[in-house]
Structure 1
Amino acid sequence: MLRSWRTRLIVLAICCDSILATPSPRSLAPTVVLDQATFVGVTDGVTDKFLGVPFAQPPTGDLRFRLPQPNDPYNGTHTATAFGPSCPQQALTLPLPSGLASDAIDFIVNSVFQVVTPSNEDCLTLNVFTPAGTRPGANLPVVAVTCTLGTLSLILTGSYDGGVIVQRSVELGEPVIYVSVNYRCRTIAFGFLASQEVKDAGLGNFGLWDQRQGLKWIQKYIAAFGGDPTRVTIWGESAGAISVALQMLTNGGNPEGLFRAAFMESGSPIPVGDITNGQKYYDDLVSETGCAGSADTLECLRQLPFDTLNAAVDKSPGIFAFQSLNLAWLPRVDGVFLTDTPQNLVLQGSVADVPFVTGDCDDEGTLFSLSNINITTQSELADYLTSNYMSSVPESLNSEFLTPMLEAYPADVTQGSPFNTSDLNALTPEYKRLAAMQGDLVFQAPRRFFLQQRSDKQSTWSFLSKRLKALPALGSVHSSDLLSFYGPADATDYLINFVNNLDPNGQSLLKWPQYSTEAPQLLTMLDGIPALEITSDTYRVEGMNVLTNLSIQFPI
């Protein structure tokens, strides 16, 4: 099952539309002129690729822990035939508990998180994929992808190649240009350093600003590749999807013409609080690097050798630490990019008025609960929830949230995640229960809240992926939906339709209804036949309501 979903069908097609030139022979490298420079890319005869194009000055030296700075005008000749380096990634110890089935281990190691080398602070580059021979003036719509961690790893290793999206778009007669934007990653200090010192400097959320700068680059230069800067859709998965949501919330909801639509996989406005909530991690970093005695600790961190700082960052709690999704380095309220918590910004109407799609996998929390399998009793679970996700809740109010949460997510393993797997996959008596809670807290509940607040104000669609349900212990795990979008497959076609027409429907696809509070319907992706069906977004209402109320009042 897993192997079949990895299969990639590559179909060579020549578009006869007059906006595209005849595909170039492999021996003729595509070129594009930007400012006074010529960039030389690479082609396979179906897709032209311009790789590793810098879109901002290197965030190194004095520019470390500062907002990205635009490039000077390009000059000379540049070879754009290889991906640029990955931004620094925190060293991870993958959660592979004893007894985990080989299929689950294979998925985690090879389909979710891969080590990408080389990595470098000088990493603010992007990659442009166009239908072969596309000329300036073609005015093709653009899908701009924010890449981080596992998604970037798989793009760089070719597993999720933007060329697949472009090829399929040509086959459908709806050609698009695909741009992947690298940025200082969400779950690492280089992109999301957080403390009072950072706030006092008027800084923070560097990674989100990187993305904004990448979108500005697209506005300035994409026409040279044949793209239409007025028809940009931003797309992301996981941290990338959360980034897309936050790009919708910043600047009072004014997208500044940078995008006209948004597509989110496993990520919505997340329940985060003030940037000072990261103070303890900042203080640890300062102590670990010897900057504690400095009069200006932020400047001290800025001047450290990269290896020294990176080694200290590696000691911060990572995404697979015991605290799990209560991450050390997160987008947080900095007073500039995010002027309030994401949930509050949604309630205030600070949302870009553009069509959007947002969806989740059925079992978002399983991957992030493998680090917690030493929690085996309800008492231990209650202690974990109160100390980890409810640490800012006054003790007198603990029962207001904890009791209904434990009731809504009972100890019955048949009701836990992976959902609908009976009593299977119960690695411990509390594993499936905690997986259900964590998946809903960070993914499912914020998605539903976002849709409930916005579906009567703008065009919205939502999906639920239940594919790979048979994957042991993980089920329809976080990121498994990427296998459907990097097809060609049904999800690929919905995406391409949306980028072109601001509506995912088309061809002979199952009609995907818009989401509404009166009829909250989901496009549900299934294994087997039928592969698609329409279902109602009415599951676990009580539990998600408790988690949403907790998130609004006491963000992490």
Structure 2
Amino acid sequence: MMKAFVTHLLVLIGLIRSSLAQGDESPTVKLPGSLVHGIFANGVDSFYGMPYAESPAGLNRLKRPVKRTKPLGDFDATTIPPACPQGHFEAVDSDELWRKRSLNADSTLAKWHAAHPVHTSEDCLTITVQRPAGTKAGDSLPVLFMLTGFSFVIGTPYRYNATDFIKFSAEIELPFILVTANYRTGPWGFLPGQQVMKNGSTNLGLRDQRMSMEWASDNIAAFGGDPDKITLWGHASGGVSVLDHLVINGGNATYNDRKLFRGAIMSSGSLMPAEHIDSEKCNKLYTKIVKAIGCERKRDTLQCLREIPYSDFERATSSIPGALSAEALRLVYVPRPDNDLIRYSPEVLLNNNMFAAVPMILGNQEDEGTIFTQKQTSVNDTKPLSQYLRTQYFGNATKRNMEDFLKKYHKKPFEGSPYRTGDDFESWAGKKRLSSVIGDVFFTLSRRVAMEFIALSQPLLPIWGYHAAYDYRNGDSSAYGTAHGSFEAMIFGTDEYIASYTTRTARWYLINFVYHLDPNKKHTELVAWPKWTPDEPRMLIFNKTNNANMLDVHRKGNSKFMKKNIEKFRI
């Protein structure tokens, strides 16, 4: 007994010494002509801010990214680098017709961002790699490449601490490597207009993302990852980005004879039908920005936008109403068809089997629309709601189109979002109905339409769907319900989700998918997650204490209408 105790004690001392030594010795990785110094903390090695492209600042503003080929040399990757410039999303002076009545409405998300300022710079195209401590070249771990974002005006990957998620993977003996990258958002990354298209500067944010994926393909093996086992995960506008990467170049995701990714996860964002980048609406936006800056008389207005000081460019582009203004999701800086990177609106490409056919997971929160409907107090009946939707979002829809669609949404608050809360949270007439409509057209129904197009084009392709409802509390919940953004927070285990059943099981499913391209492998606690098919569209429900299955048929008539009239829902 004493001998066993001594042996155990010696092993324990050895583990402690090893841990201390690992903490004292910064992890390093050798890349061609470079030695990258990372930082060890709490069981995770992190390598921050490695540039994958040349600086897009100054005269390189609004130009395609240029791959960095010069070695990094002796590179310090121990501190979080600046994010790319982040767009605004609050109301502005031009926020009409609802500005006077609603400008000061509460915005929980805006308050969160105000309390968590982000250091930004135009010189921002960097990539970060995080791994379980001790991982080394040759370990060939699968890779989760995450695209973060909010409304394509925010794209920093540093909103959440990934340490617990990565440590969890090591504890369950399914360790993976997490990769995140900065990319240009807002007008820096998605400025539309004919002049932009002529210059070949379209969809720069997507081009940044694709170049960062190429960097990962070239270099992730040195960090202990397997370049043939990369899964994309996008949340919100990051999820829209993932779907766009499926259809870029008609579905060609090959680089140097290797697939850039083998699986895709889209959370709270997937299909976003969009007008062409040189449409009338897009050209008007471009002209407005050019005039706001004072470049309208220049022969080359785009070059003028490059030459002006950063502060002037930021000021002029911030004159456009933000994603949390009364216009809410009137998104203008988004990926758009450009006859180059994206030939047609994404739903057309999906429907014509012009996408990368990889196993996928797509899902939504139960109450996706609630955070975007806090300020539209004048949108209180069918006619103003129809006008609001056609004016701010869907210019291709006629009055008849929109009113026919809205007939399918009950005016009584007990059927609105946050769902299952009776008449609660109807702080002004029509609020819960509007939340349902916004949540459906931008998230839930568009996700279902995407899955139908994908499944019909590729009947044998495995796809899974989920519905998250873990923040539901009848009568006593917040006005947001299981809101947009909470899935990301839940996976990373923030606030009330720490050590929760939902976080634990959701992590298991995602990590299983990263390893096996199937969320159901290994672990008896997990409820079987059925594949989604058009004939039997079953989904997993993420609940607070026990997950379950459901049929993806709620508001089916609405999604049929949207699919049949999809061109009317292009933003």
TM-score for the superposition, normalised by structure 2: 0.87
Out of 191, 198, 201, the residue aligned to residue 199 of structure 2 is 201
Out of 305, 308, 315, the residue aligned to residue 309 of structure 2 is 305
Shift of 1:328: 2.0
Residue 507 (structure 1) aligned with residue 511 (structure 2): no
Map of 2:461 onto structure 1: 458
Contact 2:58 2:310 in 1 (8 A): no
What secondary structure sits across from 1:370 in the alignment? coil
Out of 244, 269, 272, the residue aligned to residue 267 of structure 1 is 269
1:440–1:402 Cα change, 3 Å: same
Paired letter, 1:507 = H
Map of 2:340 onto structure 1: 336
Deviation string 1:112-160 (CA, Å, 9 cap, x unpaired) is: 7764331111111111101111111111100001123499788525xx2
Shift of 1:107: 6.2
Map of 1:145 onto structure 2: 146
Map of 1:371 onto structure 2: 375
Out of 475, 478, 485, the residue aligned to residue 484 of structure 2 is 478
Map of 2:564 onto structure 1: 549
What pairs up with 1:287-298 in 2 under 5 angstroms? 287-298=291-302
Deviation string 1:400-434 (CA, Å, 9 cap, x unpaired) is: x2232121012111111111111111121111111
Out of 488, 513, 521, the residue aligned to residue 538 of structure 2 is 521
User: Which moved further from structure 2: 540-549 or 26-35?
Assistant: 540-549
Contact 1:85 1:117 in 2 (8 A): yes
Question: Quick one: distance in 2 between partners of 1:324 and 1:45?
Answer: 39
Map of 1:254 onto structure 2: 252
Deviation string 1:497-553 (CA, Å, 9 cap, x unpaired) is: 1001111113121111111111111111123x32x1111100001112223333334
What secondary structure sits across from 2:407 in the alignment? helix
Identity of aligned residues (%): 31
Deviation string 1:270-304 (CA, Å, 9 cap, x unpaired) is: 11110123222211110011101100101110111
Paired letter, 1:174 = L
Question: Quick one: distance in 1 between partners of 2:425 and 2:237?
Answer: 26
Contact 1:87 1:183 in 2 (8 A): yes
Map of 2:171 onto structure 1: 171
Deviation string 1:195-245 (CA, Å, 9 cap, x unpaired) is: 011112222100000000000000111011011000000111001000001
Paired letter, 2:452 = Q
Q: Aligned residues, how many?
A: 523
Shift of 1:97: 6.7
Contact 1:116 1:153 in 2 (8 A): no
Question: Quick one: distance in 1 between partners of 2:150 and 2:117?
Answer: 9
Paired letter, 1:410 = H
Paired letter, 2:292 = E
Residue 119 (structure 1) aligned with residue 135 (structure 2): no
Shift of 1:317: 1.8
User: Which moved further from structure 2: 406-415 or 376-385?
Assistant: 376-385
Deviation string 1:234-279 (CA, Å, 9 cap, x unpaired) is: 1110010000010011111121110000011011121111012322
Contact 1:142 1:227 in 2 (8 A): yes
Deviation string 1:162-205 (CA, Å, 9 cap, x unpaired) is: 222221111111110000111112xx100000001111222210
Map of 2:497 onto structure 1: none
Residue 537 (structure 1) aligned with residue 515 (structure 2): no
Contact 1:361 1:466 in 2 (8 A): yes
Map of 2:213 onto structure 1: 215
Contact 1:148 1:183 in 2 (8 A): no
Question: Quick one: distance in 1 between partners of 2:548 and 2:71?
Answer: 49
Map of 1:439 onto structure 2: 439
Question: Quick one: distance in 1 between partners of 2:356 and 2:472?
Answer: 34
Question: Quick one: distance in 1 between partners of 2:328 and 2:164?
Answer: 33
Question: Quick one: distance in 2 between partners of 1:38 and 1:346?
Answer: 42
Out of 54, 73, 80, the residue aligned to residue 77 of structure 2 is 80
1:457–1:385 Cα change, 3 Å: same
Shift of 1:91: 2.7
Paired letter, 1:517 = P
What secondary structure sits across from 1:481 in the alignment? helix
Contact 2:151 2:329 in 1 (8 A): no
Residue 492 (structure 1) aligned with residue 539 (structure 2): no
What pairs up with 1:23-422 in 2 under 5 angstroms? 25-44=22-41, 46-93=43-90, 109-110=111-112, 115-149=116-150, 155-156=157-158, 160-185=160-185, 188-256=186-254, 257-276=259-278, 277-393=281-397, 397-399=398-400, 401-422=401-422
User: Which moved further from structure 2: 383-392 or 86-95?
Assistant: 86-95
Contact 2:351 2:454 in 1 (8 A): no
Map of 1:11 onto structure 2: none
Map of 1:8 onto structure 2: none
TM-score for the superposition, normalised by structure 1: 0.89
1:316–1:363 Cα change, 3 Å: same
What secondary structure sits across from 1:250 in the alignment? helix
Map of 2:3 onto structure 1: none
Paired letter, 2:320 = S
Question: Quick one: distance in 2 between partners of 1:536 and 1:330?
Answer: 31
Contact 1:140 1:175 in 2 (8 A): yes
1:295–1:543 Cα change, 3 Å: same
What secondary structure sits across from 2:131 in the alignment? strand
Question: Quick one: distance in 2 between partners of 1:97 and 1:135?
Answer: 54
* Structure 1 ranges of 4+ moved more than 4 A: 21-24, 94-100, 104-108, 112-115, 149-155
Deviation string 1:316-350 (CA, Å, 9 cap, x unpaired) is: 12111222222121111111111000111111111
Question: Quick one: distance in 2 between partners of 1:515 and 1:329?
Answer: 32
Contact 1:291 1:301 in 2 (8 A): yes
Question: Quick one: distance in 2 between partners of 1:413 and 1:45?
Answer: 47
Contact 1:116 1:156 in 2 (8 A): no
1:142–1:516 Cα change, 3 Å: same
Map of 1:17 onto structure 2: none
Paired letter, 1:173 = E
* RMSD of aligned Cα (Å): 2.3
What secondary structure sits across from 2:464 in the alignment? strand
Question: Quick one: distance in 1 between partners of 2:376 and 2:533?
Answer: 36
Question: Quick one: distance in 1 between partners of 2:306 and 2:156?
Answer: 30
Question: Quick one: distance in 2 between partners of 1:318 and 1:86?
Answer: 19
What secondary structure sits across from 2:374 in the alignment? helix
Paired letter, 1:36 = G
Question: Quick one: distance in 1 between partners of 2:215 and 2:72?
Answer: 16
1:45–1:440 Cα change, 3 Å: closer
Shift of 1:92: 3.2
Paired letter, 1:140 = L
Map of 1:5 onto structure 2: none
Question: Quick one: distance in 1 between partners of 2:341 and 2:316?
Answer: 27
User: Which moved further from structure 2: 406-415 or 137-146?
Assistant: 406-415
Gaps of 5+ in 1: 1-13, 15-20
Question: Quick one: distance in 2 between partners of 1:105 and 1:344?
Answer: 35
